[in-house]
Amino acid sequence: MVTAGVFMIARCSPLFEYPPTTLIVITSTGATTSFLAATIGILQNDLKRVLAYSTCSQLGYMIFACGISNYSVSVFHLMNHAFFKALLFLSVGSVIHATSDEQDMRKRGLPPVPFYLCHDAHG
């Protein structure tokens, strides 16, 4: 559902090619979305929010690609992004479950490493 807008812009691309200012509006909207979502995502501390804002940022890149009439590149990026982001969300869910439902990245740290692991890594 998140990528429906990008898919519809790519699907209805002949409608956007005729008016001269439409592609400029799409390009500037995509660039602004990408920049703002990436900036907000950097400031987040929740794992799922970081992934959500990175998805918004990538959607901005896809809309930007549609704005410069690279529809095939945009749809290709959409498919690749959907596959790896689904895996990332599943992985983050496993990490959150393994850390007793803790989503805040500020409370995370490296766990203490047992001595025998240091010895095995050294020799």
Instruction: Kindly report, residue by residue over 46-71, the tens digit of the pLDDT.
Output: 888 999 999 999 999 999 999 999 99
Residue 72's pLDDT is 95
The count of domains in the chain is 1
**Which residues contact residue 67 at a Cβ distance below 8 angstroms, ignoring those fewer than 6 apart?**
23, 24, 25, 26, 27, 28, 29, 30
pLDDT higher than 80, residue 12: yes
Enclosing domain of residue 44: 4-122
Instruction: Indicate whether this model's pTM tops 0.85.
Output: no
Residue 111's pLDDT is 61
> What are 11's two structure tokens?
């699907």
Work out the average pLDDT over 25-42: 96
3 state DSSP class of 44: coil
pLDDT higher than 60, residue 2: yes
Confidence of residue 94 (pLDDT cuts 50, 70, 90): confident
pLDDT higher than 90, residue 100: no
